[in-house]
Structure 1
Amino acid sequence: MERYRIRRLRAALLAFTATGGLLLTGCGANDTADHSSADRANGATGFPAPAPSRGTGEQNSPDDESREAAPSPDYLSTFALDVDTASYGYARRTLADGRRPDPSTVRPEEFVNSFRQDYERPDGNGFTVTVDGARTEEEDWSLVRVGLATRAAERTGERPPAALTFVIDISGSMAEPGRLDLAQESLGVMTDRLRDDDSVALVTFSDTAETVLPMTRLGGNRGEIHDAIDGLEPTYSTNLGAGVDTGYATAVDGLREGATNRVVLVSDALANDGDTDPDSILERIDGARREHGITLFGVGVGSDYGDALMERLADKGDGHTVYVSGADDAEKVFCEQLPTNIDLTARDAKAQVAFDPQTVAEFRLVGYDNRRVADDDFRDDRVDGGEVGPGHTVTALYAVRTKPGTDGHLATATVRWQDPETRTPHEESGQLESGSLADSLRGASPRFQVTATAAYFADSLRGRDYHGTALPGAPTLGELADRADDLADTTEDRAVRGLADTIRRARHLDPQD
């Protein structure tokens, strides 16, 4: 398919000068610099910045027809940041049930971002940028990792107060064990862990939607909140549109200045009643996002799950999605991640990677298929990016073919974001030299190897019919499972052990791989 083609660098770039080879100045993979947007827009650090788009500000694909009107050398890769992990969680659940996931639900970036990373973190808001890589067994091909990290998550008592509107699906399908019952148990525990100055509201939906509990402070009201949660019972059909409407209306009514206002949607996302048109539902979310800054956190549940709709809702709602398959997942999401990562450290964050045409012949970004941004829109702050909170890391993996016999500068990665309160834009960057590449994947750091293993696994589940070409140096599923086991021993990470088990389940369903 066209959008999965490997981008070929154009011969016109051979005139690219040595001083023009950098988007930003810097000395190494972990170097960062804080420059004003004005300096960058004036091209003071090497490449002139792309001219701001004069379009509508909506996200565009890199292959958009507007690029043909003013063609430019295709040495850039630009995408909106994404911290979703639902695709990997749902794949694990599907494989545990003895089925291979539909390739359309496999998003490699969400597999990669499901695992802990080893990036240095900044002290304040914003990001650090780490760029590293390793050579594969396929000649001239390497895997390059671009890693972005926010500051560590604050303790619960140090963050701003939260105003959380829980929109709970109570349709008939939620009666399946591990859906509504799991959500109720998790919400009950979370209620006890939130602070007294936090607020929660509760909206339910089936064929219609109802505000069960308006925005209510936790202090002195935990009993009332527990009663509302315990009283939820599954009924009728799934009118997701009504749930979204009522949920956002309730969030707006209970809007708190100086607090983090968020809608938390818990559903199997199998809309079958009322307004089921995704674009119509998405439009309503977009209005609340723009006017009130309310973000969306999507929690997917159930063996049958509307993955595509939930992901689109979260993207449009400036949020992210996770998938909960059991009690351990629910404990982690509701009782650990949500209370500590309520705050935002960056809005409309985008990344752009500039590959050096003197050393790089071609490259392919692994995943981020629906997060691509037109290169010229990187510094257009009207164009939507991703919202990222404290304690997060974002990883992008590239397959890169270097030109035979060349060495030197390979790539510069830049992340641009807006301060969540002032909307002031900032940028940081990091670089990669060919001499910094590990000689082999096994010679790379353990966390880099975990990243590569997760990406190879996602690539295998997608299949060549879906993306046209496999990642270079792809091992068999059996070899991948063995690597994951070794890495689990090295990292002492239960999540990596779970990856090994999941890969083996996939192999048993396809023993020839």
Structure 2
Amino acid sequence: MRNKNIIMLLIGGLILTGCGQEPDDKENPQHQSTTSTDQQARAAQQAATKVAEQRAAAAKAAADAKAKALVQQEAQQYSDKQALQGRLQEAPTYERAAKAKATHISNPGTARYQQFDDNPVKQVAQNPLATFSLDVDTGSYANVRRFLNHGQLPPPDAVRVEEMVNYFPSDWVINDKSNNKELVPASKPVPFVMRHELAPAPWNEQRTLLKVDILAKDLKSEALPASNLVFLIDTSGSMYSDERLPLIQSSLKLLVKKLRDQDNISIVTYAGDSRIALPSTSGNHKDEINAAIDSLNARGSTNGGAGLEMAYQQAAKGFIKGGVNRILLATDGDFNVGIDDPKSIELMVKKQRESGVTLSTLGVGGDNYNEAMMVRIADVGNGNYSYIDTLSEAQKVLNSEMHQTLVTVAKDVKAQIEFNPAWVTEYRQIGYEKRQLQAEDFNNDNVDAGDIGAGKHITLLFELTLNGQKASIDKLRYAPDQKSAKSDKAKELAWLKIRWKYPQGKESQLVEFPLLPTTNAPSEDMYFRAAVAAYGQKLRGSEYLNNTSWQQIKQWARQAKGQDSQGYRAEFIRLTELAEGLDNLQN
């Protein structure tokens, strides 16, 4: 019994002992917490390491891609450079032209323009006569347009206001007596009619604007004389770019369309040497003529003198008595080999015009453009100067106005206006600065002057100070009394005389017109051409505009735009807006 109790006590103690013991981690909660924190730290470290490794891999991949791209770019640049060097080695004469083509905007600093000053205000009491040559070119307008379209204001000497004003076609014909604008029909042998009108000068309320229109008689297509034309084309390296030789080629094809069977054409080219690209060919072989034009390529230097001599030889071979015998010189004006002295070229052209061969010039390009040479050669050659900046301009000059460009109805044309001091105190001629003549030159048939083509319309503009308006110059103390004009002439504002020769004539003819004060309402044409005159004067920085703004000029042009069937006036308004923007940027 006693042993049984002892056994029971031992078993109970063991049970109590087992119930009182717990595992070690439950007995030490602090140890449990430390272990968990270490595990979390290790996990975070592993995650951070993984992110860093991923970022490093991405950065390496990006760097490798960039390095690969740079290697490819350098390889391409090297390839391009090698190709360019190869091309230049194959065609060294094109290097200068390629550089010019890369410069989109021409540098006016390398072009050559003849310097001139604006016509001054003159007192009628002291200088009653305005004498000048009636030569009408339009090249300045197109050249100025090129500058503006290329984002540049033109050099002042590139702007000739009379060429701006006379650029725009007129719908006036000789039998048109509409609006009763003092139309004065000439007698039958005289190839002109004249009209004039007056209006307040839009830029100065103290001035009156006088516009004189002179219209040469036109000829019907079937009445046009046969033509012997020589295209003298500059194919030197400087003519390589698209706006030079390729434009000339397209332009000449427009003229070819107008050729008739009785017309003959030949093509002479000049570069380092000269050659006949097409001997004299009848106008009914248009495919042959166009193929010769397409075959032209730019190369070499510019031996203009030799080309000119060969062109005159071709003109002499195909000379048509009583017809149109004319050379059309198409170039950027850069004569740099051969007869490059302007005086020598002028003497050659002057000598040849006496034989009946005239010369017109077609200018292209901008960089190194020698406009002074182009204008002078055309003047001496009794021809026209035109500038071709677009194919549309070529269409105007060589197609729609071809008879005005090629067919002369009067040569050595001079004008002289005598202002009546009973009406006019002062006058200023707008434009024609390079056409001024001495008063005694008017009656001297040996003095060369301009030629006028069939159907050509000429506008003259004078800014007048009438008696009663505020004058710019003080009245002369000892001037004759302004009221002393004879009573039978007192109603005349001025007197216009025109002297000219017939195309085959040697002696000059004379026609005279009175310019009377008029109270008729000014025409739209009057106001539009006044706006164009203001545009040209503002581009030149004229002192006579009294701070006239571009906005005002645009407004005048818009109000007088008229029907504008050909869009020339709308284009003018756009050019005025361009000039305004460029002027604002510059100033």
Which TM-score applies when normalising by structure 2?
A: 0.70
Offset of residue 153 of structure 1: 4.0
Offset of residue 331 of structure 1: 1.9
1:162 equivalenced with 2:227 (yes/no): yes
SS at match of 1:508: helix
SS at match of 1:378: helix
In 1, distance between residues paired with 2:190 and 2:251? Answer: 30
In 1, distance between residues paired with 2:118 and 2:559? Answer: 35
Offset of residue 118 of structure 1: 5.2
CA pair 208-505 structure 1, distance change in 2 beyond 3 A = same
Partner of 1:19: none
Query: For the Cα contact (< 8 Å) 1:153–1:340, is it kept in 2?
Result: no
Query: For the Cα contact (< 8 Å) 1:324–1:330, is it kept in 2?
Result: yes
In 2, distance between residues paired with 1:500 and 1:351? Answer: 31
Offset of residue 448 of structure 1: 0.9
Match runs of 1:473-512 below 5 Å: 475-511=548-584
Offset of residue 176 of structure 1: 1.1
Partner of 1:313: 377
Partner of 2:120: 5
CA pair 152-493 structure 1, distance change in 2 beyond 3 A = same
SS at match of 1:345: strand
Query: For the Cα contact (< 8 Å) 1:118–1:447, is it kept in 2?
Result: no
2:364 counterpart (275, 297, 301):
301
Partner of 1:417: 500
Deviates more, 1:298-307 or 1:453-462: 298-307
CA pair 129-189 structure 1, distance change in 2 beyond 3 A = closer
CA pair 355-118 structure 1, distance change in 2 beyond 3 A = farther
In 1, distance between residues paired with 2:453 and 2:198? Answer: 26
1:400 equivalenced with 2:464 (yes/no): yes
In 2, distance between residues paired with 1:446 and 1:339? Answer: 27
Offset of residue 163 of structure 1: 0.4
Measured against aligned partners, the alpha-carbon deviations of 1:412-463 in whole angstroms (never above 9, x if no partner) come to 21211111134453333333333x156xxxx521111121111111101111
CA pair 489-410 structure 1, distance change in 2 beyond 3 A = closer
Partner of 1:37: none
1:356 equivalenced with 2:420 (yes/no): yes
In 1, distance between residues paired with 2:375 and 2:210? Answer: 26
CA pair 493-190 structure 1, distance change in 2 beyond 3 A = closer
Match runs of 1:118-267 below 5 Å: 119-121=172-174, 126-136=191-201, 138-155=204-221, 157-219=222-284, 221-267=285-331
Query: For the Cα contact (< 8 Å) 1:446–1:491, is it kept in 2?
Result: no
In 1, distance between residues paired with 2:302 and 2:498? Answer: 39
In 1, distance between residues paired with 2:500 and 2:562? Answer: 37
Query: For the Cα contact (< 8 Å) 1:446–1:490, is it kept in 2?
Result: no
Moved segments of 4+, more than 4 Å: 122-125, 405-408, 489-493
In 1, distance between residues paired with 2:356 and 2:269? Answer: 22
In 2, distance between residues paired with 1:340 and 1:462? Answer: 28
SS at match of 2:347: helix
SS at match of 1:483: helix
* Equivalent residues, number: 438
CA pair 334-2 structure 1, distance change in 2 beyond 3 A = closer
Query: For the Cα contact (< 8 Å) 1:154–1:390, is it kept in 2?
Result: no
**Which structure would you say has the larger RCO, counting Cα contacts within 8 Å and 6 or more residues apart?**
1
In 2, distance between residues paired with 1:256 and 1:476? Answer: 52
In 1, distance between residues paired with 2:533 and 2:283? Answer: 42
SS at match of 2:163: helix
Match runs of 1:434-449 below 5 Å: 434=517, 436=518, 444-449=522-527
SS at match of 2:145: helix
1:330 equivalenced with 2:394 (yes/no): yes
Identity %: 32
Letter matched to residue 148 of structure 1: I
Greater helix content: 2
In 1, distance between residues paired with 2:406 and 2:227? Answer: 7
SS at match of 2:579: helix
In 1, distance between residues paired with 2:421 and 2:172? Answer: 27
Question: What 5-or-longer segments of structure 1 have no aligned partner?
Answer: 11-72
Which TM-score applies when normalising by structure 1?
A: 0.80
SS at match of 2:337: coil
Q: Give the RMSD, CA atoms, in angstroms.
A: 2.3
Query: For the Cα contact (< 8 Å) 1:203–1:246, is it kept in 2?
Result: yes
Match runs of 1:88-103 below 5 Å: 88-103=141-156
Query: For the Cα contact (< 8 Å) 2:121–2:428, is it kept in 1?
Result: yes
SS at match of 1:488: coil
Measured against aligned partners, the alpha-carbon deviations of 1:12-62 in whole angstroms (never above 9, x if no partner) come to xxxxxxxxxxxxxxxxxxxxxxxxxxxxxxxxxxxxxxxxxxxxxxxxxxx
Partner of 2:538: 460
